[in-house]
Amino acid sequence: GLGKFSFDELPIMRIGATSDMDERAFTTLLDKTIQPELARIEGIAKVDITGGEKREIKINVNNDKLKYYAVSILQVSNAISKANLNFPTGSIKNTAQDVLVRLSGKFTSLAELSNLAVATNKDGSQVYLKDVAELYDSGEDATSLTRINGKTSLGIFITKTSDGNTVGISKEAKKSLVALEQAYAAENVKFTIASDSADFTLEAANSVIYDLIIAVILVAFIMLFFLHNIRNALIVMVAIPTSVISAFVVMAALGFSLNLMSLLALSLVIGILVDDSIVVLENIHMHMENGKSAREAAQQTWKEIGISVTSITLVIVVVFLPITFVTGIVSDLLFQFSIVVVAATVISWLVSFTLTPWLASRFTKLSHLNKRKVTDRPLIWFENRISNFQNFFKGILKWSLTHKRIAFTSIMLMVIASFALAGSGLIGVEFVANGDNGEFRLQAELPKETPLEQTNFLTRQIEDHLIKDPDIANVFTTVGAGSGGNISEGNNAYISQINVKLVPAEKRSLTSTEYAAKTKFDLSKKIPGAKITASPVSIVSGGTAAPIQFQLQGSNLDTLLIFSEKIKTIIKSVPGTFEIKASVEGGNPEIAVQIDRQKLAELNLSLDVVGTTMQNAYAGNDQSKLLQGDDEYPIKVQLDEFDRMDIDDISNITFLNTKRELIQLSQFANITSTTGPSRLERKDKITSVTIEAQVSGRPVGTVGREIQSKIDALKIPPGIFVLAAGDVKNQAEAFSSLLLALMASIVLVYLIMVALYDNYVYPLVVMFSVPVAMIGAFLALALTRTNLSIFGMLGLIMLVGLVIKNASLIVDFVNQLKKEGKGSYDALMEGTMARFRPILMTTIAMVIAMIPIAIASGAGSEWKNGLAWILIGGLTSSMLLTLIIVPVAYLAVDTIKGRRAAKGVP
């Protein structure tokens, strides 16, 4: 899988190319023309072409004829390479010119090749190449085949550079492909895009923009109800887009693209934007109701809550800045997110103290609700509800302030209970929610000795099954795929890979994860003998890395393989895991040739001659090239297929010793069939084996934790180390660094408050609003059965900023009232109730702005849902409980101070 998580190594586009041309000509066209054309596009790192047929001159050497003429295959290869050279041999000079002399010795035709002398007989006659071998002008042996929707094609894989913009590249590539289709219309060249990451990004971007618009409209409605006239609603409607557009300007300046993260940030920032403007507008209204003009009210507002709103903006900035220093995988994801949040918040603060008051001073009017007006009736009904709620709340607050201990203890018990809820496993944990990307990948693995033809036959059956399915839009096949879906990583004739793209989510009943599992189940029954694995392609893993990975390291491969079976059993025993496999498995059929060095020396042979001869015979030697025009084609010397079919053919291979005698392999070597590991893996220079598993129906983090605890309980043999990798490791890293950021932000917030209030105690009172927000956040996750992912952690960090905002508005006002000479109790009652409406209003507005995001479905929604639910739950519980716990804590502090003062303690 992907050890170092990077989106960049995966192809962002997979394209199938078909045409009416013959295969070899089409391959040449792709290699020579189309590939360079696509590679020119800015942001593309590489373009890989798979499948097709490249021209190759085959020289199939016949073993019996070699024996007859007493020639070894090595002589044949050497003769060809020696005779196939161009020599620059110097130059001729006279006064007028200096001309280069070049000896051209490259082969230019098959006839020239076939008449090459490869050896001289004892009687002086020549042995020609055509005497011992057959020559063919054909194609290279296929190592992989590609098809699109069952039609033979060539595969084009486009990988982008790390800073390339997926959507831009995809657009350019599509333009190029259309132009190429037109240019080669006569040959009926067609390109089918099997998968394109840009589709996902665009879909996600559009859904966020849609959420933004809905949120703004919903918020305007709320404003109408609270502020009673359409003018105020419009003021907020102007303020929000102004902030969002200004945030775009900052993003453009920093070179951010509109990607999932930056859009996610914008959709969450809406809440903050609404908040600032509402607090300011509400305050202006309060002053106007006390008889001030709109202009005076706007000026007075700045004096009164300017400092407090500024401090709040600072708080949110401070909460998000630590995230930009988070390291590990998360940093790539979260850096843009945090910067966008910080920029939008600062801009929103500017807007709320420039644009909002200015608009208010010019346009706002006090409207007095009139029962006779039909349009005012719903507003009056709403007002009555709010007043009733406010009075009900006032009663609770009075009771709480007189029964401080009971109130405080019961709220703290709720906090403890909610944290217990998070720890009990009722809330699942994962690194990143795997969305329904509408794609999954099937891999069919046959026994390791299976040739390509057989793998192909079986893959055809799988394709036929898939193509019939109405829910499947595209089927892109690679037979002879690299392991792990990496194109550049060697070809295995016994593995084939099929990328399946489903129709859009609204046209099917199953998610891509469910579909993958179902398809695997159906195929496993239909096609026995193949090991079929299916995994959804997610935006993070690209369908390659299994979420659960454990690495075993040790010096001895055999003990590792035995121990890895134990770990496999443990992983199998944890519910929710499937597709459990090890990266290194024994049982690869091999033929071992053991050489007796003593005999080798007696027979006048050396090991390099033996090795090279065998390599030429079985792997073939294609070092020499045939020159035609400007193009060179490989000449491949190899034993005829007929002479390399079984173990006996190996013992019959002949070598030429220094005395020009032919010697058979069986004279000096022992040849046996054995098995070896399928591949060797090393990490940090130590032999390692990776065990991986897919997860379905349960959160990855939770499954990972269970496996980890079972492994910890095992007796691990000395010299073997077990390390978590994949999502389990990423999640642990991400969570710990985000927890640090959360802690850092809480400490920083406290310090800012200390500076603002010039006091150490009141900021602590404000900090009580944080735990009560967690009650709702955890409850919302548990009730909606949403897992806590790294985005959920962001939601928690965001909550800290938002709820401290509310608490500080209360404390700030209470402090002002006390300065005017009111007693603690009266100041708390009056101050809290005065802030009740704006806090209720901002909370309702933000919760409503979050609802479309929480229930959104489609690309990228899984990331947003959890975040939005956390904010909805957290803000709701915070509004209800902050208004109680903060005054209670404040009063407690003042009571203690009063007692100490009475005793004369400073």
Determine which helix (DSSP H) or strand (DSSP E) holds 160, and give its type and residue range: strand 151-160
CB-based burial label for 240 (10 Å; 0-12, 13-18, 19+): buried
Q: Tell me the pLDDT band of 482, cut-offs 50, 70 and 90.
A: low
The stretch 447-469 carries a mean pLDDT of: 88
Q: Where are the beta strands (DSSP E) in 394-494?
A: 439-445, 472-479
DSSP assignment, residue 340?
Answer: H
Calpha distance 440→532 (Å, rounded): 13
Query: Could you tell me which of 329, 729, 330 has the C-alpha nearest to residue 550?
Result: 729
The stretch 142-171 carries a mean pLDDT of: 84
Calpha distance 579→694 (Å, rounded): 6
Whole-angstrom Cα Rg for the chain: 37
Q: How far is CA 351 from CA 276, 299, 310, 315, in A?
A: 9, 15, 12, 17
Calpha distance 137→132 (Å, rounded): 17
* pLDDT over 70 (residue 9): no
User: At a CB cut-off of 8 Å and minimum separation 6, what does 37 contact?
Assistant: 176, 180
Calpha distance 740→352 (Å, rounded): 31
pLDDT (0 to 100) of residue 2: 29
* pLDDT over 70 (residue 44): yes
* pLDDT over 50 (residue 769): yes
pLDDT (0 to 100) of residue 318: 79
Query: For 495-545, what is the HEC assignment?
Result: EEEEEEEECCHHHCCCCHHHHHHHHHHHHHHHCCCCEEEEEECCCCCCCCC
Determine which helix (DSSP H) or strand (DSSP E) holds 166, and give its type and residue range: helix 166-183
Q: How far is CA 408 from CA 413, 884, 899, in A?
A: 9, 9, 19
Q: pLDDT tens-digit profile of 73-123?
A: 888 988 888 888 777 778 888 888 888 887 777 888 888 888 989 888 878
Calpha distance 295→465 (Å, rounded): 73
DSSP secondary structure of 65-122: HHHHHT--HHHHHHHHHHHS-EEEEEEEE-SS-EEEEEEE----SHHHHHT-EEEE-T
Per-residue tokens: 673 = 């069939």
Average pLDDT, rounded, for the chain: 82
Calpha distance 105→125 (Å, rounded): 23
Main-chain phi, psi angles of 680, to 5 degrees: -105, 140
CB-based burial label for 528 (10 Å; 0-12, 13-18, 19+): exposed
* pLDDT over 60 (residue 1): no
DSSP assignment, residue 229?
Answer: S
* pLDDT over 60 (residue 753): yes
User: At a CB cut-off of 8 Å and minimum separation 6, what does 517 contact?
Assistant: 534, 578, 696
Strand-strand pairing, 495-502 and 531-536: unpaired
Contact status, residue 579 vs residue 546, Cβ threshold 8 Å: yes
Contact status, residue 829 vs residue 398, Cβ threshold 8 Å: yes
Contact status, residue 401 vs residue 825, Cβ threshold 8 Å: yes
Calpha distance 665→591 (Å, rounded): 14
Contact status, residue 121 vs residue 135, Cβ threshold 8 Å: no
Q: What percent of the chain has pLDDT over 90?
A: 8
Q: pLDDT tens-digit profile of 796-855?
A: 888 888 888 888 888 888 888 888 888 888 999 998 888 888 888 888 888 888 888 788
- What pairs with residue 538 in β-bridges? none
pLDDT (0 to 100) of residue 409: 92
DSSP secondary structure of 88-103: EEEEEE-SS-EEEEEE
Calpha distance 795→801 (Å, rounded): 10
The listed range with the strongest mean pLDDT (57-71, 485-499, 538-552) is: 57-71
Strand-strand pairing, 631-639 and 55-61: parallel
Q: pLDDT tens-digit profile of 16-42?
A: 999 988 888 898 889 888 899 999 998
Q: pLDDT tens-digit profile of 396-448?
A: 999 999 998 999 999 999 999 888 887 776 777 777 666 677 888 888 888 87
The stretch 207-233 carries a mean pLDDT of: 78
Contact status, residue 466 vs residue 494, Cβ threshold 8 Å: no
Determine which helix (DSSP H) or strand (DSSP E) holds 631, and give its type and residue range: strand 631-639
> In the chain, what is the straight-line distance between the N-terminal and C-terminal CA atoms, in Å?
64
Calpha distance 854→784 (Å, rounded): 10
Q: Quick one: CA dihedral 715, 719, 720, 721, positive or negative? A: positive
Main-chain phi, psi angles of 881, to 5 degrees: -90, -30
CB-based burial label for 101 (10 Å; 0-12, 13-18, 19+): exposed
Contact status, residue 712 vs residue 724, Cβ threshold 8 Å: no
Contact status, residue 153 vs residue 18, Cβ threshold 8 Å: yes
Contact status, residue 266 vs residue 348, Cβ threshold 8 Å: no
The stretch 502-513 carries a mean pLDDT of: 81
Q: pLDDT tens-digit profile of 336-351?
A: 888 888 888 888 888 8
Q: How far is CA 300 from CA 288, 563, 896, in A?
A: 10, 74, 34
Q: What percent of the chain has pLDDT over 70?
A: 93
Q: Tell me the pLDDT band of 678, cut-offs 50, 70 and 90.
A: low
Contact status, residue 742 vs residue 836, Cβ threshold 8 Å: no
Per-residue tokens: 72 = 């070894």
The listed range with the strongest mean pLDDT (122-136, 505-519, 571-585) is: 122-136
* pLDDT over 90 (residue 622): no
DSSP assignment, residue 138?
Answer: E
User: At a CB cut-off of 8 Å and minimum separation 6, what does 188 contact?
Assistant: 18, 19, 20
Calpha distance 63→356 (Å, rounded): 92
Contact status, residue 271 vs residue 346, Cβ threshold 8 Å: no
Contact status, residue 117 vs residue 126, Cβ threshold 8 Å: yes
Distance between alpha carbon 283 and the CA centroid of its chain, in Å?
Answer: 45
Contact status, residue 134 vs residue 640, Cβ threshold 8 Å: yes
Choice between 636 and 228, residue whose per-residue pLDDT is larger: 636
DSSP assignment, residue 661?
Answer: -
